[in-house]
Amino acid sequence: MIRIAQSGKTNNTIHQITWIIKKIFYNQIWEIPNSDKKIYLTFDDGPIPEVTLPILDILKQQKALATFFGVGENVYQHPDIHQRILDEGHMVANHTFNHLSGWKSTSKKYLENIEKANELIQSNYFRPPYGRISPKQLRCVKDAGYEVIYWDILSKDYNKSVSPEECLNNVASNLQSGSIILMHDSLKAKKNVLTVLPKLLEIIKTKGLEFARVDQL
């Protein structure tokens, strides 16, 4: 059974880091305040059959909508899963073709990789892998017509040193209307995300919050 901790060092560290990044990119979308009690569940790095398919099953069972920031090469390898995401009413968005870190790429290479992914994904919403993007790259991406979406709640589901209990607490203890929750449909996150997601969806409903896609502002 997963229990929610009241506080913790991991949770505090997460929000210290997020606060610093938000100070740097203060004019970007970190949350979407609204009066309709909507929250935005997002998944990065898929589609991966072993993870994305069970996630879709859980979302369908709970009648929850989400946004999937797909990696182009994974979309290329699994077009059927990409199509299922769309068919079931979820939103797809761009996470580069090769999961590039902006800090290790030139602006030209970075934008080219995004555009290559968008030939398959076809979305004007983008999230930088690792959240790593330079101010110059950010300007290039926005000039190309992309809306850059960050997050205000990081689950850390990908971190093997983070238990399912800690992962759930990272999200559940900070939920509020307008929150953008970052989770992953990747192999590294498989254990945590598949363990935590059903309970998290129940908690979200108990709090009277509604699921929405990022484009449902």
Catalytic residue numbers read: 44, 184
Residue 143 CB neighbours (<10 A): 9
* One-letter amino acid for residue 215 of the chain: D
Beta strands in 79-204 (DSSP E): 91-94, 125-126, 147-148, 153-154, 180-184
Give dist(CA 207, CA 202) in Å, integer: 9
Q: Which amino acid is at 95?
A: H
Tokens 């979305």 belong to: 123
| Residues 121/92, Cβ–Cβ less than 8 Å | yes
112, burial (CB in 10 Å: exposed 0-12, middle 13-18, buried 19+): middle
Q: DSSP letter at 29? A: B
Distance CA 11, CA 139 (A): 31
DSSP string, 182-197: EEE-STTTHHHHHHHH
